[in-house]
Protein backbone atom coordinates (compact mmCIF):
# COMPACT_ATOMS: atom_id res chain seq x y z
CA UNK A 1 0.00 0.00 0.00
CA UNK A 2 1.35 3.41 -0.98
CA UNK A 3 1.40 6.32 1.43
CA UNK A 4 -1.44 7.98 -0.51
CA UNK A 5 -3.65 4.87 -0.28
CA UNK A 6 -2.89 4.55 3.42
CA UNK A 7 -3.93 8.18 3.89
CA UNK A 8 -7.19 7.53 2.01
CA UNK A 9 -7.97 4.52 4.21
CA UNK A 10 -7.36 6.59 7.32
CA UNK A 11 -9.67 9.38 6.09
CA UNK A 12 -12.39 6.88 5.14
CA UNK A 13 -12.24 5.45 8.65
CA UNK A 14 -12.71 8.93 10.09
CA UNK A 15 -15.76 9.46 7.89
CA UNK A 16 -17.30 6.13 8.85
CA UNK A 17 -20.62 6.75 10.53
CA UNK A 18 -20.95 10.39 9.46
CA UNK A 19 -24.49 10.96 8.17
CA UNK A 20 -25.16 12.12 4.58
CA UNK A 21 -26.88 15.21 5.94
CA UNK A 22 -23.79 16.22 7.90
CA UNK A 23 -21.37 15.47 5.08
CA UNK A 24 -23.43 17.41 2.52
CA UNK A 25 -23.83 20.46 4.75
CA UNK A 26 -22.99 23.73 2.99
CA UNK A 27 -21.63 26.82 4.73
CA UNK A 28 -22.64 30.43 4.03
CA UNK A 29 -20.54 30.38 0.85
CA UNK A 30 -22.18 27.17 -0.34
CA UNK A 31 -19.00 25.17 0.25
CA UNK A 32 -19.24 21.55 1.30
CA UNK A 33 -16.49 19.77 3.23
CA UNK A 34 -15.29 18.52 -0.17
CA UNK A 35 -14.95 22.06 -1.58
CA UNK A 36 -12.94 23.07 1.48
CA UNK A 37 -10.68 20.00 1.33
CA UNK A 38 -9.96 20.71 -2.34
CA UNK A 39 -9.22 24.39 -1.64
CA UNK A 40 -6.80 23.33 1.10
CA UNK A 41 -5.09 20.86 -1.28
CA UNK A 42 -5.80 17.94 1.08
CA UNK A 43 -5.85 15.29 -1.61
CA UNK A 44 -6.43 12.19 0.52
CA UNK A 45 -9.30 13.78 2.43
CA UNK A 46 -10.80 15.09 -0.81
CA UNK A 47 -10.59 11.60 -2.30
CA UNK A 48 -12.31 10.03 0.70
CA UNK A 49 -15.05 12.68 0.76
CA UNK A 50 -15.58 12.39 -3.00
CA UNK A 51 -15.82 8.60 -2.77
CA UNK A 52 -18.52 8.87 -0.13
CA UNK A 53 -20.43 11.71 -1.81
CA UNK A 54 -20.33 9.96 -5.17
CA UNK A 55 -22.25 7.08 -3.64
CA UNK A 56 -24.87 9.54 -2.39
CA UNK A 57 -25.16 11.38 -5.71
CA UNK A 58 -23.87 14.69 -4.33
CA UNK A 59 -20.40 14.80 -5.85
CA UNK A 60 -21.34 17.69 -8.16
CA UNK A 61 -22.83 19.96 -5.49
CA UNK A 62 -22.16 23.61 -6.39
CA UNK A 63 -21.04 26.46 -4.14
CA UNK A 64 -22.19 30.08 -4.46
CA UNK A 65 -20.22 30.71 -7.68
CA UNK A 66 -21.77 27.67 -9.28
CA UNK A 67 -18.57 25.66 -9.04
CA UNK A 68 -18.37 21.99 -8.23
CA UNK A 69 -15.37 20.59 -6.37
CA UNK A 70 -13.95 19.60 -9.76
CA UNK A 71 -14.11 23.19 -10.97
CA UNK A 72 -12.49 24.45 -7.77
CA UNK A 73 -9.65 21.96 -8.29
CA UNK A 74 -9.26 22.96 -11.96
CA UNK A 75 -9.23 26.69 -11.13
CA UNK A 76 -6.49 26.06 -8.55
CA UNK A 77 -4.50 23.95 -11.05
CA UNK A 78 -4.58 20.93 -8.75
CA UNK A 79 -4.03 18.34 -11.45
CA UNK A 80 -3.99 15.25 -9.23
CA UNK A 81 -7.24 16.16 -7.50
CA UNK A 82 -8.82 16.90 -10.90
CA UNK A 83 -7.78 13.41 -12.00
CA UNK A 84 -9.17 11.85 -8.81
CA UNK A 85 -12.54 13.58 -9.07
CA UNK A 86 -13.00 12.71 -12.73
CA UNK A 87 -12.12 9.09 -11.99
CA UNK A 88 -14.76 9.07 -9.25
CA UNK A 89 -17.44 10.37 -11.63
CA UNK A 90 -17.42 14.16 -11.37
CA UNK A 91 -19.19 15.73 -14.35
CA UNK A 92 -16.96 17.37 -16.93
CA UNK A 93 -19.57 19.49 -18.77
CA UNK A 94 -21.01 21.40 -15.82
CA UNK A 95 -20.95 25.22 -15.91
CA UNK A 96 -20.16 27.78 -13.22
CA UNK A 97 -21.72 31.27 -13.00
CA UNK A 98 -19.37 32.47 -15.77
CA UNK A 99 -20.35 29.61 -18.06
CA UNK A 100 -16.97 27.92 -17.71
CA UNK A 101 -16.64 24.17 -17.75
CA UNK A 102 -13.82 22.32 -15.96
CA UNK A 103 -12.15 22.07 -19.38
CA UNK A 104 -12.17 25.88 -19.69
CA UNK A 105 -10.50 26.21 -16.31
CA UNK A 106 -7.88 23.56 -17.08
CA UNK A 107 -7.13 25.19 -20.45
CA UNK A 108 -6.60 28.56 -18.76
CA UNK A 109 -3.90 26.86 -16.65
CA UNK A 110 -2.35 25.00 -19.59
CA UNK A 111 -3.42 21.59 -18.32
CA UNK A 112 -5.51 19.25 -20.45
CA UNK A 113 -7.54 16.35 -19.03
CA UNK A 114 -7.97 14.33 -22.21
CA UNK A 115 -6.54 11.05 -20.93
CA UNK A 116 -8.49 11.16 -17.67
CA UNK A 117 -11.74 12.02 -19.44
CA UNK A 118 -11.14 9.25 -21.97
CA UNK A 119 -10.76 6.73 -19.14
CA UNK A 120 -13.91 8.02 -17.42
CA UNK A 121 -15.92 7.46 -20.60
CA UNK A 122 -17.75 10.78 -20.34
CA UNK A 123 -18.63 12.62 -23.58
CA UNK A 124 -16.98 16.05 -23.58
CA UNK A 125 -18.48 19.21 -25.06
CA UNK A 126 -15.19 20.41 -26.50
CA UNK A 127 -16.81 23.42 -28.23
CA UNK A 128 -18.76 24.68 -25.20
CA UNK A 129 -18.87 28.48 -25.08
CA UNK A 130 -18.59 30.28 -21.76
CA UNK A 131 -20.61 33.45 -21.24
CA UNK A 132 -17.83 35.50 -22.88
CA UNK A 133 -18.23 33.37 -26.00
CA UNK A 134 -14.96 31.49 -25.54
CA UNK A 135 -14.31 27.78 -26.00
CA UNK A 136 -11.60 25.99 -23.98
CA UNK A 137 -9.29 26.35 -27.00
CA UNK A 138 -9.87 30.11 -27.08
CA UNK A 139 -9.08 30.26 -23.35
CA UNK A 140 -5.77 28.42 -23.87
CA UNK A 141 -4.80 30.75 -26.74
CA UNK A 142 -5.44 33.86 -24.64
CA UNK A 143 -3.36 32.41 -21.81
CA UNK A 144 -0.50 31.66 -24.21
CA UNK A 145 -0.74 35.22 -25.57
CA UNK A 146 -0.45 36.52 -22.01
CA UNK A 147 2.67 34.41 -21.40
CA UNK A 148 4.24 35.68 -24.63
CA UNK A 149 3.39 39.28 -23.72
CA UNK A 150 4.78 38.92 -20.20
CA UNK A 151 8.20 37.71 -21.33
CA UNK A 152 8.84 40.58 -23.75
CA UNK A 153 11.72 42.70 -22.56
CA UNK A 154 12.97 40.09 -20.10
CA UNK A 155 16.41 38.56 -20.27
CA UNK A 156 16.69 34.88 -21.14
CA UNK A 157 17.20 33.87 -17.51
CA UNK A 158 14.16 35.83 -16.33
CA UNK A 159 12.03 34.54 -19.19
CA UNK A 160 12.91 30.87 -18.67
CA UNK A 161 9.92 30.09 -16.47
CA UNK A 162 7.57 31.92 -18.84
CA UNK A 163 9.05 30.00 -21.77
CA UNK A 164 8.25 26.73 -20.00
CA UNK A 165 4.75 27.98 -19.23
CA UNK A 166 4.21 28.99 -22.86
CA UNK A 167 5.33 25.56 -24.05
CA UNK A 168 2.85 23.95 -21.66
CA UNK A 169 0.07 26.02 -23.24
CA UNK A 170 1.20 24.94 -26.72
CA UNK A 171 0.98 21.28 -25.71
CA UNK A 172 -2.46 21.90 -24.18
CA UNK A 173 -3.63 23.57 -27.42
CA UNK A 174 -2.35 20.66 -29.51
CA UNK A 175 -4.17 18.22 -27.23
CA UNK A 176 -7.43 20.17 -27.49
CA UNK A 177 -7.10 20.03 -31.29
CA UNK A 178 -6.60 16.26 -31.07
CA UNK A 179 -9.75 16.07 -28.93
CA UNK A 180 -11.67 17.66 -31.81
CA UNK A 181 -11.56 21.37 -31.01
CA UNK A 182 -11.69 23.59 -34.08
CA UNK A 183 -9.36 26.56 -34.42
CA UNK A 184 -11.92 28.04 -36.82
CA UNK A 185 -14.70 28.22 -34.24
CA UNK A 186 -15.55 31.88 -33.86
CA UNK A 187 -15.88 33.85 -30.68
CA UNK A 188 -16.29 36.89 -32.87
CA UNK A 189 -12.74 36.10 -33.90
CA UNK A 190 -11.00 32.78 -34.48
CA UNK A 191 -7.97 31.40 -32.67
CA UNK A 192 -5.73 32.61 -35.50
CA UNK A 193 -7.08 36.14 -35.11
CA UNK A 194 -6.42 35.95 -31.37
CA UNK A 195 -2.84 34.78 -32.01
CA UNK A 196 -2.41 37.58 -34.57
CA UNK A 197 -3.09 40.20 -31.90
CA UNK A 198 0.29 39.31 -30.35
CA UNK A 199 2.05 38.29 -33.59
CA UNK A 200 2.24 34.92 -31.85
CA UNK A 201 4.46 32.97 -34.22
CA UNK A 202 4.51 29.90 -31.95
CA UNK A 203 0.76 29.48 -32.37
CA UNK A 204 0.82 30.40 -36.07
CA UNK A 205 2.87 27.27 -36.66
CA UNK A 206 0.13 25.25 -34.95
CA UNK A 207 -2.98 26.85 -36.44
CA UNK A 208 -1.77 27.38 -40.01
CA UNK A 209 -1.36 23.62 -40.30
CA UNK A 210 -5.12 23.29 -39.73
CA UNK A 211 -7.58 23.41 -42.67
CA UNK A 212 -9.55 26.62 -43.32
CA UNK A 213 -7.58 28.64 -40.80
CA UNK A 214 -7.39 31.83 -42.89
CA UNK A 215 -10.86 33.24 -42.24
CA UNK A 216 -11.90 36.83 -41.54
CA UNK A 217 -13.10 38.69 -38.47
CA UNK A 218 -15.15 41.87 -38.95
CA UNK A 219 -13.78 41.88 -42.48
CA UNK A 220 -10.17 41.74 -41.30
CA UNK A 221 -7.88 38.84 -42.09
CA UNK A 222 -5.14 37.76 -39.72
CA UNK A 223 -2.72 39.64 -42.00
CA UNK A 224 -4.67 42.87 -41.47
CA UNK A 225 -4.37 42.42 -37.71
CA UNK A 226 -0.65 41.63 -37.77
CA UNK A 227 0.05 44.57 -40.09
CA UNK A 228 -1.68 47.00 -37.73
CA UNK A 229 0.40 46.07 -34.67
CA UNK A 230 2.78 48.55 -33.09
CA UNK A 231 6.43 47.51 -33.42
CA UNK A 232 6.40 43.98 -32.04
CA UNK A 233 9.63 42.03 -32.56
CA UNK A 234 7.85 39.14 -34.23
CA UNK A 235 5.55 41.27 -36.42
CA UNK A 236 7.50 40.96 -39.67
CA UNK A 237 8.10 37.24 -39.18
CA UNK A 238 4.40 36.74 -38.47
CA UNK A 239 3.40 38.58 -41.66
CA UNK A 240 5.76 36.55 -43.82
CA UNK A 241 4.60 33.32 -42.21
CA UNK A 242 0.95 34.15 -42.92
CA UNK A 243 1.71 34.96 -46.56
CA UNK A 244 3.82 31.85 -47.03
CA UNK A 245 0.75 29.85 -45.96
CA UNK A 246 -1.61 31.60 -48.38
CA UNK A 247 -2.67 34.88 -46.76
CA UNK A 248 -3.51 37.37 -49.53
CA UNK A 249 -1.74 40.76 -49.22
CA UNK A 250 -4.25 42.14 -51.73
CA UNK A 251 -7.33 41.38 -49.62
CA UNK A 252 -9.39 44.32 -48.40
CA UNK A 253 -11.40 44.64 -45.20
CA UNK A 254 -14.87 46.20 -44.89
CA UNK A 255 -13.30 49.67 -45.11
CA UNK A 256 -11.59 48.62 -48.36
CA UNK A 257 -8.18 48.80 -46.68
CA UNK A 258 -5.24 46.63 -47.68
CA UNK A 259 -3.07 45.16 -44.90
CA UNK A 260 -0.27 47.50 -45.97
CA UNK A 261 -2.46 50.55 -45.29
CA UNK A 262 -2.81 49.53 -41.64
CA UNK A 263 0.94 49.55 -40.97
CA UNK A 264 1.95 52.09 -38.30
CA UNK A 265 3.21 55.44 -39.50
CA UNK A 266 6.74 56.64 -38.81
CA UNK A 267 10.29 55.65 -39.72
CA UNK A 268 10.81 51.99 -40.49
CA UNK A 269 13.88 49.84 -40.99
CA UNK A 270 14.36 47.89 -44.25
CA UNK A 271 12.73 44.76 -42.87
CA UNK A 272 9.58 46.62 -41.85
CA UNK A 273 9.15 48.13 -45.31
CA UNK A 274 7.43 44.86 -46.17
CA UNK A 275 4.18 46.29 -44.81
CA UNK A 276 4.28 49.17 -47.26
CA UNK A 277 5.17 47.00 -50.24
CA UNK A 278 2.65 44.18 -49.73
CA UNK A 279 0.18 45.44 -52.33
CA UNK A 280 2.76 47.03 -54.62
CA UNK A 281 5.29 44.28 -55.34
CA UNK A 282 3.64 40.85 -55.59
CA UNK A 283 6.51 39.52 -57.71
CA UNK A 284 9.08 40.55 -55.11
CA UNK A 285 6.89 38.98 -52.48
CA UNK A 286 6.87 35.66 -54.32
CA UNK A 287 10.65 35.72 -54.61
CA UNK A 288 11.03 36.52 -50.89
CA UNK A 289 8.62 33.73 -49.94
CA UNK A 290 10.63 31.27 -52.04
CA UNK A 291 13.81 32.33 -50.26
CA UNK A 292 12.14 31.86 -46.85
CA UNK A 293 11.00 28.36 -47.73
Q: Give the domain extent around 252.
A: 212-292
Domain count, the chain: 2
| Domain annotation covers residue 196 | no
Angle 275-191-90 (CA atoms, 0-180°, nearest 5)?
165
CB contact set of 21 (below 8 Å; sequence gap of 6+): none
| Domain annotation covers residue 207 | no
CATH number at residue 68: 1.25.40.20
| Domain annotation covers residue 147 | no
Domain end point (choices 66, 91, 116): 91
DSSP 21-76: HHHT---TT---HHHHHHHTT-HHHHHHHHHHHHHHT-TT---TTS--HHHHHHHT
pLDDT of residue 216: 62
Per-residue pLDDT tens over the stretch 220-241: 889 999 988 887 888 888 988 8
| Domain annotation covers residue 187 | no
| Domain annotation covers residue 15 | yes
| Domain annotation covers residue 121 | no
| Domain annotation covers residue 115 | no
- Residue of higher predicted confidence among 272 and 155: 155
Domain end point (choices 57, 73, 91): 91
The residues pairing with 187 across neighbouring beta strands, listed in sequence order, are: 189
| Domain annotation covers residue 182 | no
CATH number at residue 281: 1.25.40
The per-residue pLDDT of the chain, averaged, comes to: 86
pLDDT of residue 35: 98
Domain end point (choices 91, 115, 142): 91
Amino acid sequence: MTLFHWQIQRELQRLDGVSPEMLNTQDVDGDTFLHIAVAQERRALAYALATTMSGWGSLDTKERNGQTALQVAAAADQQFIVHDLLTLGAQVNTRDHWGRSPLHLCAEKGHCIWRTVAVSGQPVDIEMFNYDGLTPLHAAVLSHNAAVRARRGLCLYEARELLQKAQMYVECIKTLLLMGASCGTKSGRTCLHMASEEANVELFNVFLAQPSSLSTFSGNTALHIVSSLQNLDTQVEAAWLLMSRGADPGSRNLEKELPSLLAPEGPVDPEREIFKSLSEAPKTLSVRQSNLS
